Amino acid sequence: MTDQHAENVAAVRLPFALPQLSVNGGRWRGERVRFESEEFNAQFAVRTSSRKFASDVIHPPMMEYLAWARPPGFSIEGPVLRFAPDVHDQFLLARCADFAHEFLARVPSFVWADLGVRPPRFRSSVDQDAPER
């Protein structure tokens, strides 16, 4: 007998691998990271395989962006950024793709350098060294 279930998933394949990171991602069970902002911690469960990577990527302006953007839960595993949306529709898929782009554009340049990754050019006007718009 086979159990059947439905699960909505949207994913973006990245041209590079990143350490595991989950923001309200659900199933992934990495180490929970808590930040100085209790308000952020109450809204977002961040889990990772690299505490340093999480701390470098989830900096205060990124926390503000996440609180503003309210993305569906997501996780990064190697070269895949995966979302767990409530529904599948063309608008939500476009929102996930735009969010992935904006999220990665806000990663500081020193993080890319630490990883030995040359990031793609982002279409946004976000300066990688100054993550706020």
Range of the domain at 43: 10-115
Percentage of the chain exceeding pLDDT 70: 80
Instruction: Please give the full DSSP string across 71-89, using - where no structure is assigned.
Output: PPPEEEEEEEEEE--SS--
Least confident of 17-21, 30-34, 50-54, 85-89: 85-89
pTM over 0.75: yes
Residue 34 lies in a domain: yes
Percentage of the chain exceeding pLDDT 90: 55
pLDDT digits (tens, 9 = 90+) for 57-106: 999 999 999 999 999 899 999 999 998 877 777 888 888 888 999 999 99
Residue 108 lies in a domain: yes
Residue 31 lies in a domain: yes
Q: What residues contact residue 89 under an 8 Å CB cut-off, 6+ apart?
A: none
Structural domain tally of the chain? 1
Residue 49 lies in a domain: yes
Look at residues 66, 72, 104, 79 and name the one whose alpha carbon lies nearest to residue 7. Answer: 72
pLDDT at site 129: 47
Look at residues 126, 118, 78 and name the one whose alpha carbon lies nearest to residue 99. Answer: 126
